[in-house]
Amino acid sequence: MRLDNATWREVEAALERMPGIILPVGSTEQHGPMGLIGTDAICAEKIAEAAAEKADCLVAPTIAYTPAPFNMAFAGTISISGETFEALFREIVDSLRTHGFRLIYVLNGHGANLDPMRDVSAGFEGATIRIRSWWDFDTVNVLRKRYYGDWEGMHATPSEIAITQATHRIVPPGDASDPPERLTPEYVARHSGDRHGPAELHRRRFPDGRVGSHSALARPEHGRDLLQAAAAAVSEDFTGALAQCG
């Protein structure tokens, strides 16, 4: 059940049997010519909801406003500073801790979120914060590799777009039918965690918003497989983490 669709008494009762909650975190930013602006938030939210159904736990409202300064040259992107996001995240998890959640399982969908969330987690007391991105799991990466190989790329990836195709809508690829420039392993290593530099330079380097990702390879049936695999992995990881909380 979603926390925001529950009453306070339902949450209080849920805490007595299940003191863990899944918190999806995404972004609001461009995802290439055929990717929805809310792709990162959608992926985190839908996987979290499916995992929570398996684990019989609550899901907190999705955090969708996060740092994405490198994409501010693309219409529709909404970016907040790393400092603002870190403060927001800290206060949200502290609220959950105050109510008695011993495990706050963060399901992430956006690379630039990781450092601020880890900074909060490192000094947090009174509850366990476990941070996982939905692509962290072997069963998910087997599918990503099988379907897309090196064309998964770094941004506007076919795997995330496939999930939104399965859950929301399909946008025709248009000129995104052509593959983008391939990335070198050195570029990927240097820019992991969404370290993409100033917005205007980033758009000049990747004018349609794709960063080495052949988005047009996405298929809704791939998205359903990826969502199912990620939800199963998250549910298992959540259950294991909760057991460790005592």
- In this prediction, residue 118 carries a pLDDT of 98
% of the chain surpassing 70 pLDDT: 100
Let me know: does 103 contact 21? Beta carbons within 8 Å. Answer: yes
Tokens of 146: 């099988």
- Which residues, in sequence order, are bridge partners of residue 28? 78
125-179: pLDDT as tens digits: 999 999 999 999 999 999 999 999 999 999 999 999 999 999 999 999 999 999 9
Instruction: State mean pLDDT over 193-219.
Output: 93
Residue at 226: amino acid letter: L
Which residues are CB-contacts of 39 (< 8 A; sequence separation ≥ 6)? 26, 31, 109, 156, 160, 161, 164
Is beta strand 103-108 parallel, antiparallel or unpaired with respect to 128-133? parallel
Mean of all residue pLDDT scores within the chain: 96
20-77: pLDDT as tens digits: 999 999 999 999 999 999 999 999 999 999 999 999 999 999 999 999 999 999 999 9
% of the chain surpassing 90 pLDDT: 92
- In this prediction, residue 243 carries a pLDDT of 94
Residue at 244: amino acid letter: Q
Q: Please, what is the Cα angle at 41 between 25 and 225, to 5 degrees?
A: 110
User: What own/partner pairs with CB < 8 Å and gap ≥ 24 does 91-97 have?
Assistant: 92/23, 92/60, 92/63, 93/23, 93/120, 93/124, 93/127, 93/129, 96/21, 96/23, 96/60, 96/127, 97/124, 97/126, 97/127
Structural domains of the chain, ranges and CATH numbers in brackets? 3-239 (3.40.50.10310)
- In this prediction, residue 74 carries a pLDDT of 98
Report pTM. 0.96
Inter-CA distances, 133 with 80, 87, 98, 127, 200, Å: 20, 20, 25, 19, 28
62-112: pLDDT as tens digits: 999 999 999 999 999 999 999 999 999 999 999 999 999 999 999 999 999
Indicate the Cα dihedral angle 242, 227, 88, 103, nearest 10°: 0
Let me know: does 141 contact 157? Beta carbons within 8 Å. Answer: no
